[in-house]
A and B are shown apart, each in its own frame.
Chain A
Protein backbone atom coordinates (compact mmCIF):
# COMPACT_ATOMS: atom_id res chain seq x y z
CA UNK A 1 0.00 0.00 0.00
CA UNK A 2 1.44 3.39 -0.94
CA UNK A 3 1.86 6.27 1.47
CA UNK A 4 -1.04 8.20 -0.09
CA UNK A 5 -3.37 5.23 0.48
CA UNK A 6 -2.27 4.91 4.10
CA UNK A 7 -2.66 8.60 4.89
CA UNK A 8 -6.48 8.69 5.39
CA UNK A 9 -6.28 5.72 7.79
CA UNK A 10 -3.44 7.36 9.70
CA UNK A 11 -5.43 10.58 9.98
CA UNK A 12 -8.54 8.79 11.22
CA UNK A 13 -6.62 6.50 13.60
CA UNK A 14 -6.28 8.96 16.56
CA UNK A 15 -10.05 9.56 16.58
CA UNK A 16 -10.77 5.82 16.37
CA UNK A 17 -8.35 5.08 19.22
CA UNK A 18 -9.76 7.96 21.26
CA UNK A 19 -13.36 6.84 20.76
CA UNK A 20 -12.45 3.21 21.35
CA UNK A 21 -10.62 3.81 24.62
CA UNK A 22 -12.82 6.51 26.08
CA UNK A 23 -16.25 5.57 24.72
CA UNK A 24 -16.59 1.99 23.47
CA UNK A 25 -14.58 0.26 26.21
CA UNK A 26 -16.39 2.03 29.13
CA UNK A 27 -19.74 1.48 27.37
CA UNK A 28 -19.14 -2.26 27.00
CA UNK A 29 -17.88 -2.46 30.59
CA UNK A 30 -21.00 -0.65 31.86
CA UNK A 31 -23.29 -2.99 29.90
CA UNK A 32 -21.43 -6.05 31.26
CA UNK A 33 -21.59 -4.76 34.86
CA UNK A 34 -25.30 -3.87 34.55
CA UNK A 35 -26.36 -7.22 33.10
CA UNK A 36 -24.25 -9.62 35.22
CA UNK A 37 -24.61 -10.68 38.83
CA UNK A 38 -22.59 -13.32 40.68
CA UNK A 39 -20.84 -14.40 37.49
CA UNK A 40 -23.92 -14.93 35.30
CA UNK A 41 -26.28 -12.91 33.13
CA UNK A 42 -28.95 -11.31 35.26
CA UNK A 43 -31.45 -8.48 35.51
CA UNK A 44 -31.01 -8.31 39.28
CA UNK A 45 -29.44 -4.84 39.19
CA UNK A 46 -32.34 -3.48 37.14
CA UNK A 47 -34.85 -5.07 39.56
CA UNK A 48 -33.01 -3.51 42.48
CA UNK A 49 -32.98 -0.15 40.67
CA UNK A 50 -36.72 -0.31 39.95
CA UNK A 51 -37.44 -1.27 43.56
CA UNK A 52 -35.37 1.60 44.94
CA UNK A 53 -37.36 4.15 46.95
CA UNK A 54 -35.96 7.10 44.98
CA UNK A 55 -36.21 5.52 41.51
CA UNK A 56 -39.70 6.75 40.60
CA UNK A 57 -39.05 10.16 42.10
CA UNK A 58 -35.72 10.62 40.32
CA UNK A 59 -37.25 9.51 37.01
CA UNK A 60 -40.18 11.92 37.46
CA UNK A 61 -37.89 14.79 38.55
CA UNK A 62 -35.51 14.30 35.60
CA UNK A 63 -38.36 14.25 33.06
CA UNK A 64 -40.02 17.25 34.73
CA UNK A 65 -36.76 19.19 34.58
CA UNK A 66 -36.25 18.31 30.90
CA UNK A 67 -39.87 19.16 30.05
CA UNK A 68 -39.63 22.61 31.67
CA UNK A 69 -36.02 23.59 30.89
CA UNK A 70 -35.74 22.57 27.22
CA UNK A 71 -38.70 24.58 25.81
CA UNK A 72 -37.66 27.62 27.88
CA UNK A 73 -34.07 27.36 26.66
CA UNK A 74 -35.02 26.88 23.03
CA UNK A 75 -37.43 29.85 23.19
CA UNK A 76 -34.91 32.06 24.96
CA UNK A 77 -32.02 31.09 22.66
CA UNK A 78 -34.22 31.72 19.61
CA UNK A 79 -35.14 35.17 20.95
CA UNK A 80 -31.48 35.91 21.69
CA UNK A 81 -30.39 34.79 18.21
CA UNK A 82 -33.07 37.01 16.60
CA UNK A 83 -31.96 39.96 18.75
CA UNK A 84 -28.36 39.40 17.65
CA UNK A 85 -29.39 39.50 13.99
CA UNK A 86 -31.10 42.85 14.56
CA UNK A 87 -28.08 44.43 16.25
CA UNK A 88 -26.10 46.73 14.00
CA UNK A 89 -23.18 47.42 16.37
CA UNK A 90 -21.48 45.37 19.08
CA UNK A 91 -22.92 42.04 17.92
CA UNK A 92 -19.68 40.13 18.63
CA UNK A 93 -19.35 41.63 22.11
CA UNK A 94 -22.95 40.77 23.03
CA UNK A 95 -22.53 37.22 21.69
CA UNK A 96 -19.32 36.88 23.70
CA UNK A 97 -21.03 38.02 26.92
CA UNK A 98 -24.05 35.78 26.36
CA UNK A 99 -21.80 32.75 25.85
CA UNK A 100 -19.70 33.29 29.01
CA UNK A 101 -21.60 30.52 30.90
CA UNK A 102 -20.22 28.04 28.33
CA UNK A 103 -16.86 28.45 30.03
CA UNK A 104 -18.30 27.87 33.50
CA UNK A 105 -18.38 24.29 34.73
CA UNK A 106 -21.66 22.70 35.84
CA UNK A 107 -20.67 22.62 39.49
CA UNK A 108 -19.35 26.20 39.46
CA UNK A 109 -22.65 27.36 37.92
CA UNK A 110 -24.51 25.53 40.68
CA UNK A 111 -22.34 27.24 43.30
CA UNK A 112 -22.97 30.65 41.70
CA UNK A 113 -26.72 30.15 42.12
CA UNK A 114 -26.25 28.64 45.57
CA UNK A 115 -24.56 31.91 46.64
CA UNK A 116 -27.65 33.76 45.41
CA UNK A 117 -30.41 31.47 46.65
CA UNK A 118 -29.17 30.00 49.93
CA UNK A 119 -30.71 31.26 53.20
CA UNK A 120 -27.84 33.72 53.76
CA UNK A 121 -27.53 34.47 50.05
CA UNK A 122 -27.85 37.59 47.94
CA UNK A 123 -31.54 37.12 47.18
CA UNK A 124 -32.50 37.00 50.85
CA UNK A 125 -30.22 39.96 51.56
CA UNK A 126 -31.93 41.98 48.83
CA UNK A 127 -35.44 40.96 49.91
CA UNK A 128 -34.62 41.80 53.55
CA UNK A 129 -33.22 45.19 52.55
CA UNK A 130 -36.46 45.88 50.68
CA UNK A 131 -38.48 44.86 53.73
CA UNK A 132 -40.16 41.96 51.93
CA UNK A 133 -39.04 39.24 54.37
CA UNK A 134 -38.47 39.30 58.14
CA UNK A 135 -35.86 36.55 58.39
CA UNK A 136 -33.92 34.01 56.36
CA UNK A 137 -36.05 32.00 53.95
CA UNK A 138 -34.64 28.67 52.88
CA UNK A 139 -35.61 28.59 49.20
CA UNK A 140 -33.65 25.40 48.56
CA UNK A 141 -34.90 23.24 51.41
CA UNK A 142 -36.93 20.04 51.25
CA UNK A 143 -39.93 21.94 52.67
CA UNK A 144 -39.99 24.28 49.64
CA UNK A 145 -39.92 21.90 46.64
CA UNK A 146 -41.40 24.49 44.28
CA UNK A 147 -38.77 27.15 44.97
CA UNK A 148 -36.05 24.48 44.90
CA UNK A 149 -37.28 23.39 41.47
CA UNK A 150 -37.45 27.00 40.25
CA UNK A 151 -33.90 27.58 41.52
CA UNK A 152 -32.61 24.54 39.63
CA UNK A 153 -34.48 25.62 36.47
CA UNK A 154 -33.02 29.14 36.70
CA UNK A 155 -29.48 27.80 37.17
CA UNK A 156 -29.86 25.35 34.28
CA UNK A 157 -31.24 28.06 31.97
CA UNK A 158 -28.42 30.42 32.96
CA UNK A 159 -25.77 27.74 32.48
CA UNK A 160 -26.81 25.93 29.32
CA UNK A 161 -28.78 28.30 27.08
CA UNK A 162 -25.53 29.48 25.50
CA UNK A 163 -24.86 26.15 23.76
CA UNK A 164 -28.29 26.32 22.09
CA UNK A 165 -27.64 29.96 21.19
CA UNK A 166 -24.31 29.16 19.51
CA UNK A 167 -25.92 26.44 17.36
CA UNK A 168 -28.84 28.69 16.39
CA UNK A 169 -26.58 31.65 15.57
CA UNK A 170 -24.58 29.36 13.27
CA UNK A 171 -27.90 28.27 11.70
CA UNK A 172 -28.95 31.89 11.16
CA UNK A 173 -25.71 32.57 9.27
CA UNK A 174 -26.68 29.85 6.76
CA UNK A 175 -30.01 31.47 5.84
CA UNK A 176 -29.54 33.49 2.63
CA UNK A 177 -30.54 37.15 3.11
CA UNK A 178 -32.22 37.16 -0.31
CA UNK A 179 -35.17 35.07 0.94
CA UNK A 180 -36.08 37.60 3.62
CA UNK A 181 -35.49 40.54 1.29
CA UNK A 182 -37.73 39.00 -1.38
CA UNK A 183 -40.48 38.33 1.18
CA UNK A 184 -40.17 41.91 2.45
CA UNK A 185 -40.58 43.24 -1.10
CA UNK A 186 -43.81 41.22 -1.40
CA UNK A 187 -45.11 42.80 1.81
CA UNK A 188 -44.59 39.99 4.32
CA UNK A 189 -44.52 41.21 7.92
CA UNK A 190 -41.62 40.45 10.26
CA UNK A 191 -43.63 37.75 12.08
CA UNK A 192 -44.68 36.10 8.78
CA UNK A 193 -41.08 36.09 7.54
CA UNK A 194 -39.98 34.55 10.82
CA UNK A 195 -42.64 31.80 10.65
CA UNK A 196 -42.47 31.07 6.93
CA UNK A 197 -38.76 31.56 6.16
CA UNK A 198 -36.54 31.71 9.23
CA UNK A 199 -38.07 28.88 11.28
CA UNK A 200 -38.29 26.29 8.46
CA UNK A 201 -34.72 27.02 7.34
CA UNK A 202 -33.55 26.88 10.93
CA UNK A 203 -35.01 23.40 11.42
CA UNK A 204 -31.73 21.44 11.00
CA UNK A 205 -30.02 23.69 13.55
CA UNK A 206 -33.00 23.41 15.89
CA UNK A 207 -32.82 19.64 15.56
CA UNK A 208 -29.11 19.60 16.48
CA UNK A 209 -29.68 21.97 19.39
CA UNK A 210 -32.63 19.95 20.69
CA UNK A 211 -30.77 16.64 20.50
CA UNK A 212 -27.63 17.97 22.17
CA UNK A 213 -29.45 19.89 24.87
CA UNK A 214 -31.95 17.12 25.67
CA UNK A 215 -29.23 14.49 25.99
CA UNK A 216 -27.28 16.82 28.29
CA UNK A 217 -30.43 17.66 30.26
CA UNK A 218 -31.08 13.98 31.01
CA UNK A 219 -27.53 13.89 32.40
CA UNK A 220 -28.12 16.84 34.74
CA UNK A 221 -26.34 16.36 38.04
CA UNK A 222 -23.83 18.92 39.33
CA UNK A 223 -26.21 21.90 39.35
CA UNK A 224 -28.90 19.86 41.12
CA UNK A 225 -26.37 18.46 43.56
CA UNK A 226 -24.97 21.93 44.38
CA UNK A 227 -28.39 23.48 44.93
CA UNK A 228 -30.46 20.73 46.47
CA UNK A 229 -28.24 17.76 47.22
CA UNK A 230 -30.57 14.75 47.47
CA UNK A 231 -33.57 16.97 48.20
CA UNK A 232 -34.24 16.82 44.47
CA UNK A 233 -33.22 13.33 43.31
CA UNK A 234 -32.35 12.93 39.62
CA UNK A 235 -31.25 9.85 37.67
CA UNK A 236 -27.53 10.66 37.46
CA UNK A 237 -27.56 11.69 41.12
CA UNK A 238 -28.96 8.29 42.04
CA UNK A 239 -26.29 6.56 39.92
CA UNK A 240 -23.66 8.60 41.78
CA UNK A 241 -25.16 7.72 45.18
CA UNK A 242 -25.32 3.99 44.36
CA UNK A 243 -21.73 4.09 43.12
CA UNK A 244 -20.16 6.24 45.84
CA UNK A 245 -22.26 5.78 48.98
CA UNK A 246 -23.65 2.28 48.49
CA UNK A 247 -20.54 0.99 46.66
CA UNK A 248 -22.88 -0.89 44.29
CA UNK A 249 -21.54 -0.42 40.78
CA UNK A 250 -24.14 -2.85 39.34
CA UNK A 251 -27.14 -0.65 40.18
CA UNK A 252 -25.16 2.48 39.22
CA UNK A 253 -24.45 0.86 35.82
CA UNK A 254 -28.17 0.01 35.48
CA UNK A 255 -29.01 3.69 36.04
CA UNK A 256 -26.39 4.66 33.43
CA UNK A 257 -27.92 2.25 30.89
CA UNK A 258 -31.39 3.64 31.60
CA UNK A 259 -30.19 7.23 31.05
CA UNK A 260 -28.51 6.18 27.79
CA UNK A 261 -31.68 4.44 26.54
CA UNK A 262 -33.83 7.48 27.40
CA UNK A 263 -31.34 9.81 25.64
CA UNK A 264 -31.26 7.58 22.54
CA UNK A 265 -35.07 7.43 22.46
CA UNK A 266 -35.28 11.24 22.69
CA UNK A 267 -32.71 11.58 19.88
CA UNK A 268 -34.64 9.19 17.61
CA UNK A 269 -37.86 11.06 18.37
CA UNK A 270 -36.31 14.41 17.39
CA UNK A 271 -34.81 12.95 14.21
CA UNK A 272 -38.24 11.60 13.18
CA UNK A 273 -40.24 14.67 14.21
CA UNK A 274 -37.88 17.28 12.76
CA UNK A 275 -36.87 15.44 9.62
CA UNK A 276 -35.88 17.96 6.93
CA UNK A 277 -36.06 17.27 3.21
CA UNK A 278 -32.72 18.09 1.51
CA UNK A 279 -34.41 20.46 -0.95
CA UNK A 280 -35.83 22.61 1.87
CA UNK A 281 -32.47 23.14 3.56
CA UNK A 282 -30.74 26.49 3.35
Chain B
Protein backbone atom coordinates (compact mmCIF):
# COMPACT_ATOMS: atom_id res chain seq x y z
CA UNK B 1 0.00 0.00 0.00
CA UNK B 2 1.59 3.27 -1.07
CA UNK B 3 1.50 6.52 0.91
CA UNK B 4 -1.18 8.14 -1.25
CA UNK B 5 -3.51 5.16 -0.88
CA UNK B 6 -2.95 5.21 2.90
CA UNK B 7 -3.80 8.93 2.92
CA UNK B 8 -7.07 8.26 1.07
CA UNK B 9 -8.08 5.48 3.44
CA UNK B 10 -7.21 7.64 6.48
CA UNK B 11 -9.29 10.48 5.05
CA UNK B 12 -12.27 8.21 4.38
CA UNK B 13 -12.14 6.72 7.89
CA UNK B 14 -11.74 10.18 9.51
CA UNK B 15 -14.77 11.48 7.61
CA UNK B 16 -16.82 8.40 8.57
CA UNK B 17 -15.89 9.09 12.21
CA UNK B 18 -16.81 12.79 11.76
CA UNK B 19 -20.33 11.72 10.74
CA UNK B 20 -20.84 8.75 13.05
CA UNK B 21 -19.38 9.99 16.36
CA UNK B 22 -21.89 12.84 16.96
CA UNK B 23 -24.78 10.46 16.19
CA UNK B 24 -23.28 7.83 18.51
CA UNK B 25 -22.94 10.41 21.30
CA UNK B 26 -26.52 11.63 21.01
CA UNK B 27 -27.76 8.01 20.88
CA UNK B 28 -25.67 7.26 23.98
CA UNK B 29 -27.29 10.17 25.78
CA UNK B 30 -30.77 9.20 24.62
CA UNK B 31 -30.67 5.50 25.41
CA UNK B 32 -28.31 5.03 28.32
CA UNK B 33 -27.75 8.40 29.92
CA UNK B 34 -24.24 9.63 30.47
CA UNK B 35 -21.99 10.53 33.32
CA UNK B 36 -21.36 14.24 32.90
CA UNK B 37 -18.39 15.69 34.77
CA UNK B 38 -19.82 19.06 35.77
CA UNK B 39 -23.24 18.21 37.15
Residues on A close to B: CB < 8 A? 79-80, 83, 86-87, 94, 97-98, 100-101, 104, 111-113, 115-116, 119-122, 124-125, 128-129, 135-136, 158
- Across the two chains, which residue of chain A brings its CB closest to B17? A97
Q: Which positions 1-39 of chain B face chain A at CB distance < 8 Å?
A: 8, 11-12, 15-16, 18-20, 22-23, 25-26, 29, 34, 36-39
Q: Which of B19, B29, B34 has the most CB of A within 10 A?
A: B19
Q: Is the contact region of chain A dominated by helix, strand, or loop, or is it mixed?
A: helix
Q: Is the contact region of chain B dominated by helix, strand, or loop, or is it mixed?
A: helix
Q: In the assembled complex, how far is the CB of residue A271 from the closest CB belonging to chain B, in whole angstroms?
A: 31
- Across the two chains, which residue of chain B brings its CB closest to A128? B37
Q: Which of A80, A87, A97, A129 has the most CB of B within 10 A?
A: A97
Whether the pair A112, B37 counts as a contact (CB closer than 8 A) is no
Whether the pair A115, B25 counts as a contact (CB closer than 8 A) is yes
- Across the two chains, which residue of chain B brings its CB closest to A158? B22
CA of A140 to CA of B28 in the docked complex: distance in angstroms? 22
Whether the pair A79, B25 counts as a contact (CB closer than 8 A) is no
